[in-house]
Structure 1
Amino acid sequence: MRDQRSPTALARRTGGLNLQRTRAPETGRGGYDADARHAQALGHGPRIDAIPNDQIAPDAWSLVNTLRESAGAPPVDVMPEFMRVMAKHPPIFRRQMEMGNVLFNGRISPRERELAVLRISWLAGAPFEWGEHVVISKRCGVTAEEIERVTLGSSGAGWSEHDAAILRGVEELVADFAVSDETWRLLAKSWDEAQLIEFPMMVGQYLTTAFLLNSLKVPLGRGNAGLAQR
């Protein structure tokens, strides 16, 4: 009896759809104008008002400052506006902060993580996220030249094989929701299984954050120049 799970049987049931077809990733600079993207992602915002700083619950402060400590930043007594917006949905806010803390203390090195997050936020045209992570990435050893080169993607000249594979993996996940066999092979030359599991989860977490920031039109914080941040 023919295996109904075979590629031929599956293609017949899906009307001949080519399930091997992939969506080409953006490996270069991207196609949006930064000023226009700022107007779209930040203009006429915010869409949801933040909770006043003096009304933030103590447990929320603990979550935020624990995350900041993991990111190498000092504690604050004025909570960033984005977090005060997210605090309006306590269960999601808690899980978001907890996942952020897991990733900041994850198996992937801080420098590698920040290369990935910068590429995610650049491809997503996320001014707030890009600007914040330019600052974080410098604390994690990413150079100013590398930050600029992230905007050129995996096709930029000068990356090591592994760094290029990190950027390419982000590009593939954003475009096609999967890491290709070749990129997986390159990453697996340096990363263990736990790191390989962590990578797509990390990309999803920061892409989700870009969705939130751009959709809520959260204003840039002090010192954050958005997509112009270097």
Structure 2
Amino acid sequence: MPWDAAERTKQVTGARERLPFLSEDQLDERHFAAMEQLRVLYGYPEGMPLAPFFATLAHSPEFFAGYIDLGVAASIRSALPDRVRELAILRTGWLYGAPYLWGEHVKATRGKVFTPDEIERITEGPEAPGWGELDRAVMQAADDLHSDAMISDAVWGVLAQHLDERQLLELPMLVGHYVLTAFLQNSLRSRLTENNPAGLAAR
């Protein structure tokens, strides 16, 4: 990639956020309905304050609610297997140099979905040795979408041997959602959470 992990993380997260957070007394019923989905999705206790990234997105109630709806669908309603979903998310986060996205999903999947060695190999891409056919195709799909805005025929053919029609539809939608997430978090200069201190250096 054209960036060093530590330098990219510093570039994105080393400055102040570009927009202020909204406090809870500035939120309306649309915000709170979306926040309840987040609480259930991540198992947050009731009354837990809104994370800074989401408190910034709340400047647009309509987009906030729509973004959360799609994120919840991608996380808990998708037909994609966990490994396929997280492989696509992590590869996308790496391709777009998104410290917040990358670090959060490394933290969530290391030792559960992927080994530390596999997480390291995600940074190397689909050509790294050791990937199975489906893993390689999922990462190549993310690479294709990044470079050409479409999945190539050859990669689609491999994916179609492993995924059904619903899953094939959801894969580019999932990647698109996390491209949007990378755009938002990088452009807003979203700070890393306490549980994600390393950003792109997380392995």
Give the TM-score normalised by structure 1.
0.81
Residue 58 of structure 2 is aligned with which of 77, 81, 87?
87
Aligned partner of 1:84: which letter?
A
2:2 is the alignment partner of 1:31: yes
Q: Cα RMSD (Å) of the superposition? A: 1.7
1:211 paired with 2:183, answer yes
The 1-side partners of 2:151 and 2:127 are apart by: 16
Once the two structures are TM-superposed, the CA of residue 37 in structure 1 deviates from its matched residue by 0.9
| Contact 2:30-2:65 at 8 Å conserved across structures | no
Q: Percent identity?
A: 38
Q: Which of 198, 208, 220 is residue 192 of structure 2 equivalent to?
A: 220
Using a 3 Å threshold, how does the CA distance of structure 1 residues 153 and 68 change in structure 2: closer, same or farther? farther
Specify the code of the residue in structure 1 equivalent to 2:96.
Answer: A
- The correspondence of residues 1-230 of structure 1 with structure 2, limited to 5 A, is 30-53=1-24, 55-57=26-28, 59-70=30-41, 73-76=42-45, 77-104=48-75, 105-138=77-110, 141-224=113-196, 225-230=198-203
Q: CA deviation at 1:159?
A: 0.8
SS in 1 for 2:130: coil
Q: List alignment gaps of at least 5 residues for structure 1.
A: 1-29
Instruction: Give 1:156 deviation, angstroms.
Output: 1.2
Does the CA contact (< 8 Å) of 1:120 and 1:170 recur in 2? yes
Tell me how far 1:59 sits from its aligned partner.
4.4
SS in 2 for 1:48: coil
More helix by share: 2
Structure number with greater Rg is: 1
What count of residue pairs does the alignment treat as equivalent? 199
TM-score normalised by L of structure 2: 0.91
Q: Please list every run of at least 4 consecutive aligned residues from structure 1 whose deviation after the TM superposition is greater than 3 angstroms.
A: 53-59, 67-70
